[in-house]
Chain A
């Protein structure tokens, strides 16, 4: 368990990138660590207890979003700025905002690929879908980002 706790900061960063909310991220990681603790007999002797904890974080997040999203509207996130004009947007602030507009699974896949640096096969194992599905989700999420007019404008100016 000490091994997993030593990676708690990494789990919190992952959860925060998914939830975009500190409180929710802490709840998510707490749930994951408690679940790991309950299953420590089998998880602890495995080669990758941290990987198991990360998988729990992802699945808990996706389950939470699926239950919440029917009543939840896409809105401002915890630390997003208020933008009046595209010229005032920092590139990364805009990308962070656009990530919030993606659906949960797409955001999760992008975080696992571009932050956690996982392969498609590893992502498929974590999210619980086929390799082709991961690629499809990734392609659609990136396409949604690329197609956003505000991002396109900034990239043209770069």
Chain B
């Protein structure tokens, strides 16, 4: 150990002697006023995580899909925390934050913003963060523009990988507070956080993990998404699922790239199951033609008490959504399933 490490060890040993002697009462809860472990109130804390990725064109052969059918992993997360994923990057964020995929229109506030590649379609794109105290708004157009790009960055190592990192305080265009940004040159992913304090920024940036499969079991690319045995032909989703994971893959500049992943608890899973099973195969079975509008892909993994997993893949288009379990394919013209999923997973 060097001098710093030795001093560190000596300091901790000495300070440990200042700890309360105990014992800690277990018969009843302490009457001490305690910090609520529920999520941050809007007026107290604001954290925005903006995840922006460059186009992930690999230029190489398509990866074969993974053949195992094990259920997606469920990370052991602290209470009030969820995973936000984008491409190969995952980060832990407050569970109460909504997710916005559209970069169009009004201010962004207390949200996870995941660029789904649709910004260029917006008639109006928000290009700056609001300056209201305590509120941070972030927006970036596609893969080229981000307010965080103006923050000077220095080389860093994040999750064992080469990266660049920078910080700014009360920077015009980013809103009041501290802004931190991490960028990975290898895959072009940029993660920005704006919060009232540096500690809050670092508490999120320090949870960045880069992996081909995220902690919920969503592959970074649609081509590598976990497969599962085909489902029944008479019913899209058997109704006794104990939970579900939704992996969303983008379109346009984010085509095939993971742009969001969410877990659904048993009640939400049941609600989604009922809605999906209400759909029927497309009675028209005709070519709907026209110029295909940009859409995205929703890969849903339903877990069952016996340990099995059912995969339902949804192709979400502008006029028609279709869902398949490989044995049964159903159609939805009303976007009701997408809207339900957005509500269940706290998106807007």
Contacts and interface: CB of A to CB of B under 8 A. Distances in A.
Interface of A: 5, 8-9, 12-13, 15-17, 22-23, 25-27, 29-30, 33-34, 37, 59-60, 62-74, 79, 91-92, 95-96, 99, 103-106, 110-111, 114-115, 128-130, 132-133, 135-137, 139-140, 142, 145-146, 151, 155, 158
A68 B35 contact: yes
B7 interface: yes
Contacts, number: 172
Interface string B1-32: 00111011111111110111111111001101
B21 A9 contact: yes
Contact of A17 (B12, B29, B160): B12
Given A22-B18, A70-B46, 10 more contacts: A8-B22, A17-B16, A64-B37, A67-B39, A67-B80, A70-B197, A74-B197, A105-B202, A110-B8, A142-B8
A113 B1 CA distance: 12
B202 A103 contact: yes
A26 B30 contact: yes
Contacts of A115: 9, 12-13, 16
B94 interface: yes
Interface string B111-127: 00000000000000000
Contacts of B5: 114, 142
A107 B47 CA distance: 22
Contact of A63 (B13, B19, B21, B78): B78
Given A69-B199, A71-B44, A8 B24 contact: yes
B157 interface: yes
A91 B4 CA distance: 10
B67 interface: no
